Amino acid sequence: MPELIEVEIYRRTATRTLGRCIEALEQVDAFGLRSGSDRSNPTTAEGLADALVGSTVLAARRVGKLLMLDLSNHASAAKGVVLGLRFGMTGRLVVDGKTEINELLYTSDRDDAEWDRFRVRFADGGTMAVRDPRRLGGVELDPDVGRLGPDATMVTRSQLRAVLADSGVAVKARIMDQGRIAGIGNLLADEILWRAGIAPMAAARSLSANRVTRLYVSIVSTVAELTDRGGSHLGDVMEARHPGGLCPRDGAAMRTTQVGGRTSWWCPKHQR
C-alpha cells in the first residue's frame, strides 16, 4: 500500500503537471474531503473548485505519505494554495491516464476510472486523478505539515532517540506514529524491525543505545533499498508474512501479533 516509497513515486509522476493550468475540477468525492490547517475553513467541493480552477502547478513536494502540490494564485484568489493529497492504502495518482505503479498490495489490479475520487482537467486537455477504490485517501487545502514528524528519509539518529525515549509504547507503534516520524507504514515497519533484529512489541524506552543505532541504520537503509526495488511490499520478509511462513534469515516459524492495532509478522528467534 502507499507508504512513503509509493508516494515518492507519485511525487515524481506529479512533476509532469508542473507549469500546467487547472481548467476544471471534474470529480470530487465528499468522503475524501479533509479539513486543512485552518479548522474554521474546512475543505468543501466549492472551496476546492474556487482554489484550484485557474491556478498553475508550481511544485510537487512530499512529507511522509502526504503529497503536496504548490499552486499559483489566480485572479479571484488572494494567494496560492497548497493542494494536499493522501492515498490511504489503495490510492494511486493517475496523470494523463497513466500511473507509474501498477502493482499495489491489498487493492484491485483493475484500473477503473470509476474509482477516481478526485480529478482535475488541465487547460491542455490532460488530467490528474486520485484513483482509490477504498476511499481511504483524501484531499485537503493547505494541509498542516506541522502535525507530521520528520520524513523517514531525513530523520537523524538523535531525533530517533528522542522519539523512543521515555515511552513504554511498542517500538513499532512509535516508528509508525506519523506525528513523530512521517512515512513508515505497516509493511515497511515489519521489514525495518526484521532487519534490525528488534521485536515489534518491545517497549520503545527499553532499547539500548546500540539497538537504537541499529534501528536507525535499518530505517535509512531499508527505505533506500526498497525505494531502489520500487515498493514498500518488496522487502525480504514479505514472502514470510503469512500463516506458516518461515523466517528467510534463520528458518524459524514466523509469529503474528497485533501491535498498535496492526498485524505484525516477526521472527521470535532473531527479533528481541
Partner DNA sequence: ATTGTGGCCTGCCCGC
Partner DNA sequence: TGCGGGCAGGCCACAA
Considering beta carbons, is residue 115 or 122 the nearer one to DNA? Answer: 115
C-alpha count within 13 angstroms, C-beta hemisphere, residue 27: 14
Q: Is 38 one of the binding residues for DNA (CB under 7 A)?
A: no
For residue 208, give every residue at least 6 positions away whose Cβ sits within 8 Å of its Cβ, in sequence order, or none: none
Residues 60-119 that bind DNA (CB under 7 A): 64-66, 86, 88-89, 106-110, 115
- What does the alpha-carbon distance between residue 7 and residue 117 come to, in Å, rounded to a whole number? 17
Which CB sits closer to DNA, 56 or 264?
264
Strand partners, 182: 151
Q: How many amino acids of this chain bind DNA (CB under 7 A)?
A: 37
Residue among 31 and 58 whose Cβ is closer to DNA = 31
> Please, what is the minimum distance in Å from the beta carbon of residue 182 to DNA?
8
Which of 45, 24, 50, 57 lies closest to 123, judged by CA? 24
Binding range to DNA, per CB under 7 A, among 48-56, 93-101, 211-219, 256-264: 256-264
Please identify, using beta-carbon distances, which residue of 176 and 223 lies nearer to DNA. Answer: 176
Going from the C-alpha of 127 to that of each of 82, 106, 137, the distances in angstroms are 18, 25, 18
* 260 binding DNA? (CB under 7 A): yes
**Considering only 44-52, 96-104, 244-252, 261-269, which stretch makes contact with DNA by CB under 7 A?**
261-269
The values of phi and psi at residue 80, to 5°, are: -70, 160
Q: How many whole angstroms separate alpha carbon 222 and alpha carbon 246?
A: 20
Nearest approach, Cβ of 1 to DNA (angstroms)? 5
Taking the CB of residue 209, how many other CB atoms lie within 10 A of it? 9
Which residues inside 1-30 make contact with DNA, applying CB under 7 A? Answer: 1-3
Task: Report, in Å, the least distance between residue 206 CB and DNA.
Answer: 13
Other CB atoms within a 10 A radius of the CB of residue 227 amount to: 17
The Cα 130–Cα 118 span in angstroms is 5
Q: CA-based angle 162:168:170, to the nearest 5?
A: 90
Q: Point out which span in 10-18, 72-80, 184-192, 221-229 binds DNA (CB under 7 A).
A: 184-192
C-alpha cell at 208: 539500548
Min dist. Cβ of residue 39 to DNA (A): 9
Binding site for DNA (CB under 7 A): 1-3, 31, 34-35, 64-66, 86, 88-89, 106-110, 115, 133-136, 138, 167-170, 173, 176, 178, 185-187, 260-263
